[in-house]
Structure 1
Amino acid sequence: MHILDTFLIHYLHRFDKYCFTVELHDKKYTIGSGQPLFNVVIHKDIPKRELLSSTSLALGEAYMRKDLEIEGDLFTALQCILSQTSQFSLDKSALKRILYTPESKSYQKQQVSSHYDLGNDFYQLWLDPSMSYSCAYFKQEDDTLEQAQHNKVHYILEKLHLQPGMSLLDIGCGWGYLLIEAAQKYGVKGYGCTLSHEQWKKGQERIEALGLQGQVQIDLIDYRDLIKEGRTYDRIVSVGMLEHVGRSNYSIYMETADHLLKDGGLFLLHYISGLDESVGNPWMRKYIFPGGTLPSLREIINVAYNCDFRVIDVESLRRHYYKTLMCWYDNFQKVHDQVAAERGEEFVRMWDLYLCGCAAAFYIGNIDLHQVLMTKGVNNELPMTRWY
């Protein structure tokens, strides 16, 4: 056996909680004991230096380039490997440019655009018709993705205890579906902000098509600039945006929401949470969400109470996000050829790994999805029991 083969097989033995096989240079090796669950085929050597620098980056890039292939179910393979992240290598000093990116307005606008401005045509291929790109809510086992996304939006709107004539701010409003539903079904006046030009453009088209110009407004603006506009709101919601704020800006984010919300108002924060305050996955930060950071529940609760917020409910929707991601992954499989023709096979494999890997991470509990409902100050006018 070549010395590099010896190292690679030895390295992979640290992931022996589950049994799988590895094919390398016409030889097959077994990792773990029992019946193999999948087979890893390595077509090209993975440099030792890269593996020791970052397991996720080295294996992820090898998969993207097709230097590494999985024979068997990709979800099963990722579930097995990601359940052993304590065995991953990570040299933070070697990855400073990926792990510690600037969190200024200009950099974050670029980071958001790099993901969300891939084009509305791309996202329309595999999202549901509402263009909802966040965790759905499956009230029934057989809910379609479209129904589950509708459920999610209205579950959030119910939690916000909306009344006709109220003002609602959506920080990071995406393509505007939640604001439009709130305006049409609850009679509120909606205001949204986004840094994605593509999302803003689609939002304008939807508002005009529905004749909601006087009731819903979406601006291409950083949330940190909202205070300058001098408005305050009865309700604030933020869905899947906190992950892009950056750890150094959590206090600014919460203080901004505090400033914009009227006394007694409700704030619903819906975000992907990490189990701790780590810097995150290098592969995800390099290829999927540059600058993305997952805040832990405890640090967000702490920051909220540093302001004038009072938490009245917290709910985990972890398993709902697993199911949402598997729906997206299945939809994406159906458009592989079209996406590959436009963007290349490496892009397709990257998105396969992203969607399926996140599904596995939620399924095994490496990450979570929390909805945190808060009031600004004390509100004794709300029902004493859950109304949703």
Structure 2
Amino acid sequence: MLEKLKEKAESIAEEKAMVSFLKRFDENPFLVRFQNNEYLIGEGEPTFTVDFKKPIPVSELLKSTSIALGEAYMDKNLTIEGDLYNALVHFLGQMGKFSTDEKLLGKLLHPSVAKKFQAREVQSHYDIGNDFYKLWLDKTMSYSCAYFKHDDDDLYQAQVNKVDYILEKLHLKEGMTLLDIGCGWGFLLIEAAKKYKIKGMGITLSHEQYAEFNRRIEKMNLQDYLTVKLMDYRDLPKTGRKFDRVVSVGMVEHVGRDNYRLFNDCVKSVLKKGGLFLLHYISQLKEDSGNGWMQKYIFPGGELPSLREMVDIMAEEDFHILDIENLRRHYNKTLLCWDKNFHDHMDEIKKMFDERFIRMWDLYLAGCAAAFYTGVIEIHQILVTNGVNNDLPITRWY
């Protein structure tokens, strides 16, 4: 009897400690529910309820708020009554109140940037399976921010828009050479070959993407125009190749902060003088170690450059900036489309993966959409020339 009373007292103490921690997120009202008790955080009518099967130790929340809450959600120790996306907008809009103990999470937040480790990290995400990605991406198999030119653009049209927009910025002409670093399943290079008759090469570390891109090249009879290689960007200088244009979409986030300069060095080594380089990447406002849960479960080894640090590095490379554009709201809309597709194909996904993976992936898609909406992360396209180029059209929107 005394033992049960003691356990009950400890549980209530843990609840109250956890509620005290959660009170920091009080900008909008929400309800916290345990098995026997409810607590209102903030003032007003709650817009959602966070239901806990059991309290999370405050020590874990202080070590990494994102990992503690994320794992509780994955394990169904935490569920949301109401809209998950809206709840995540609430919490991520107050991301500055999250706790991260960098000393305890050092290896997770700052892993090795050696080739073998980075190849394994990239493959852990992109080699989950083409059949899985085909369920919730559009038919272009574009796994990056789309571009919604019109309110009624569907996801497919917006991905076509994005690629067209990038190719226009690169000012391509027939016969030019184009390198795509982190080429994914190849849609950008395929469109460039079909519309501009360029000679293109893509590189990726994903075996699944490599196989699918090769299949597409053969199916479309583009062997005379396109090649794809399983290659680390650090091996580009060894090829001895020079390209008129270089593009990289959603890849530099994987190289690690210590290698941002090296990445740009490698681009410089293969880009002709006066050539154009377009870098499209997820950014953050200031330099920090990022989200522990994302690095543990979704993008191991991933670090997001700030705009200012990337611009600083580019200046040292004699890369002259022509244009910088922020597409943050486009990525919010893209992710909401992906999350809808993910739920629309839930029956098929349940045959592929267990419930923990499904909850993890849903949290990832909805969480990223919320992060772009709240400005926790952004996405930039930077267009530069290698040295001075006086031959491009004088107007910005050529």
TM-score by length of 1: 0.99
Which residue number in structure 2 is paired with residue 240 of structure 1? 250
2:318 to 304, 308, 315: 308
Alpha-carbon contact 2:21-2:58 (below 8 Å) kept: no
Measure the CA separation in 2 of the matches of 1:257 and 1:7: 51
Instruction: Write out per-residue CA displacement over residues 160-204 of structure 1, whole angstroms, 9 at most, x where no aligned residue.
Output: 000000000000000011001000101100101000000000000
Which residue number in structure 1 is paired with residue 65 of structure 2? 55
Q: How does 1:226-375 map onto structure 2 within 5 Å? A: 226-375=236-385
Instruction: Write out per-residue CA displacement over residues 86-142 of structure 1, whole angstroms, 9 at most, x where no aligned residue.
Output: 211111111122111101111100000000000100000100000000000000001
Give the match's secondary structure for 2:24.
helix
Give the match's secondary structure for 2:180.
strand
2:188 to 175, 178, 194: 178
Instruction: Write out per-residue CA displacement over residues 67-98 of structure 1, whole angstroms, 9 at most, x where no aligned residue.
Output: 00000011110000111112111111111221
Alpha-carbon contact 1:340-1:347 (below 8 Å) kept: no
Letter in 2 for 1:227: P
Which residue number in structure 1 is paired with residue 45 of structure 2? 35
Measure the CA separation in 1 of the matches of 2:87 and 2:380: 26
Alpha-carbon contact 1:170-1:237 (below 8 Å) kept: yes
Measure the CA separation in 2 of the matches of 1:105 and 1:345: 32
Deviation (angstroms), 1:45: 2.2
Which residue number in structure 2 is paired with residue 90 of structure 1? 100
Instruction: Write out per-residue CA displacement over residues 267-322 of structure 1, whole angstroms, 9 at most, x where no aligned residue.
Output: 00000001111011000000000000000000000000111200110000000000
Which residue number in structure 1 is paired with residue 176 of structure 2? 166
Which residue number in structure 1 is paired with residue 234 of structure 2? 224
Deviation (angstroms), 1:3: 0.9
Which residue number in structure 1 is paired with residue 215 of structure 2? 205
Give the match's secondary structure for 1:26.
coil
Aligned residue pairs, count: 388
Letter in 1 for 2:45: Q
Measure the CA separation in 2 of the matches of 1:73 and 1:387: 40
Letter in 1 for 2:379: L
Give the match's secondary structure for 1:92.
coil
Letter in 1 for 2:76: K
Alpha-carbon contact 2:192-2:198 (below 8 Å) kept: yes
Measure the CA separation in 1 of the matches of 2:29 and 2:134: 38
Measure the CA separation in 2 of the matches of 1:147 and 1:341: 29
Letter in 2 for 1:22: V
Measure the CA separation in 1 of the matches of 2:252 and 2:110: 17
Return 331-340 or 374-383, whichever deviates more. Answer: 331-340
Letter in 2 for 1:261: L
Which residue number in structure 2 is paired with residue 135 of structure 1? 145
Give the match's secondary structure for 1:94.
coil
Q: How does 1:179-198 map onto structure 2 within 5 Å? A: 179-198=189-208
Instruction: Write out per-residue CA displacement over residues 3-36 of structure 1, whole angstroms, 9 at most, x where no aligned residue.
Output: 1011011111111011000111221110000111
State the percentage of identical aligned residues.
57
Measure the CA separation in 2 of the matches of 1:307 and 1:342: 45
Measure the CA separation in 2 of the matches of 1:171 and 1:178: 11
Give the match's secondary structure for 1:347.
helix
Measure the CA separation in 2 of the matches of 1:50 and 1:309: 44
Which residue number in structure 2 is paired with residue 106 of structure 1? 116
Letter in 1 for 2:330: H
Which residue number in structure 2 is paired with residue 121 of structure 1? 131
Letter in 1 for 2:295: R
Give the match's secondary structure for 2:202.
strand
Tell me which stretches of 4 or more aligned residues in structure 1 moved more than 3 Å: none
TM-score by length of 2: 0.96
Deviation (angstroms), 1:47: 2.0
Letter in 2 for 1:241: M
Alpha-carbon contact 2:64-2:99 (below 8 Å) kept: yes
Measure the CA separation in 2 of the matches of 1:51 and 1:338: 34
Once superposed, what is the RMSD of the aligned Cα atoms? 0.8
